[in-house]
Chain A
């Protein structure tokens, strides 16, 4: 493949606490993850970053690309480096392990705290819950989360309140609550009662979610469920 152009890529180096510029050859259909990998293999062997599947399934390669949180394996350079520049930083709202690799512990602790754990029995038989069941539709709409942490990085409510478990954890709680096989829905609701109400519906989670989920909608559903539980005297 012929090299036609050079891209200027600024990458956050945590050792120096600054952005460092690298020149990377432009290739056709190059992804941002390709660029980071090229820098690590050719210019900066000590550069730390994280990836696994490279096809948008594992959710491990999310970074801030020109200020926006993105899955770097499915982000083409030509779609984001409009002026031939790329600025790559680690995800926001999370501690940095090194360079572009963040410590995802606060993100996944939120899932535990929001009780994103299905408790019930698998039902036997095909389509034990009908496809057109509205609660099943609500659960299905939120189920494809890959746990990449992009919504957590995009959320200003997380930035303003470290006790907030974040959009993905609440989206997960919403899918559990709508699962008819779930045996302890009240426990799920109690776990998020002090959490869902912290959301200010800024919608950045929805805008940036790479798989097109809408956590803002899921959290609005949780708020409705909470108010209804309070009115019935259950909370």
Chain B
């Protein structure tokens, strides 16, 4: 596939994911606070065709976006572009790039585990036992890191979509700071309210 087609697919999947991830982050925080069970998820999925369709679209967009992202990371690592920090990279936009790559990598590595966990829904009692296991402090802390990565990748992605497709703004540094702040706020909200 041509670089142009891959780019369009990457940005299209990003735009779809941006909307779905806002919903997902809200759901994560609300349902971790209220408590989640296999019965609750299954009730929702069986209630109408909209939910399975949304989950299907979500999975498709995430897999597409992750695969194209991994290809870019692979090319950079293969050529040694990611070798130790060099002085020409000491500026905020490069750090924002690095944060977007690292958070993206964390999410794409987590995705198979996430799908495997959801696969246990076929056995409700097993899934609920799994949810109990994730309530340990260590798991909660790793979840908070994942929530931070998701929020950071969402905010960074929205910044990049704006940079590429909206009229140019000279406030790139402020936008980078804003996306970092958004990620920090969301993960604090998760830790201080959602996960309590």
Contacts and interface: CB of A to CB of B under 8 A. Distances in A.
Say whether A and B bind each other.
yes
Interface of A: 64, 66-69, 92, 153-154, 156-157, 159-162, 193-195, 197-198, 200-204, 206-208, 216-217, 220-221, 223-224, 226-227, 230, 235
Nearest to B172: A203
Closest 6 CB pairs of A and B: A67-B87, A203-B93, A197-B7, A160-B81, A160-B76, A159-B81
B88 interface: yes
B164 A160 contact: no
16 contacts: A64-B88, A67-B86, A69-B88, A92-B88, A159-B81, A160-B76, A193-B4, A194-B3, A200-B97, A202-B93, A202-B97, A203-B93, A203-B172, A204-B89, A206-B93, A207-B93
B2 interface: yes
B193 interface: no
Interface string B61-97: 0000000000010011011111000111101011001
Given A194-B3, A207-B93, A68 B168 contact: no
A201 B165 CA distance: 13
Contacts of A157: 81
Given A161-B75, A208-B88, A235-B4, A203 B94 contact: yes
A56 to B, nearest CB: 20
B164 A220 contact: yes
A197 B78 CA distance: 20
B122 interface: no
Given A224-B165, A227-B165, A159 B80 contact: yes
B8 interface: yes
B99 to A, nearest CB: 12
A194 B91 contact: no
A221 B168 contact: yes
The winner among B2, B4, B11, B81 for most chain A CB atoms within 10 A is B4
Q: Is the interface of B mostly helix, strand, loop or mixed?
A: helix
B160 interface: yes
A226 B80 contact: no
Interface of B: 2-4, 6-8, 11, 72, 75-76, 78-82, 86-89, 91, 93-94, 97, 160, 163-165, 168, 172
A201 B98 CA distance: 11
Contacts of B163: 201, 220
Given A203-B94, A224-B164, 13 more contacts: A69-B88, A154-B88, A156-B81, A159-B79, A160-B81, A161-B75, A197-B7, A201-B160, A207-B93, A208-B88, A220-B168, A230-B8, A235-B4
A32 to B, nearest CB: 15
B89 A201 contact: no
A204 B11 CA distance: 22
A177 B76 CA distance: 30
A191 B106 CA distance: 35
Contacts of B160: 201
Contact of B2 (A68, A194, A201, A223): A194
B79 A161 contact: yes
A230 B6 CA distance: 13
B57 to A, nearest CB: 21
The winner among B6, B163, B164 for most chain A CB atoms within 10 A is B164
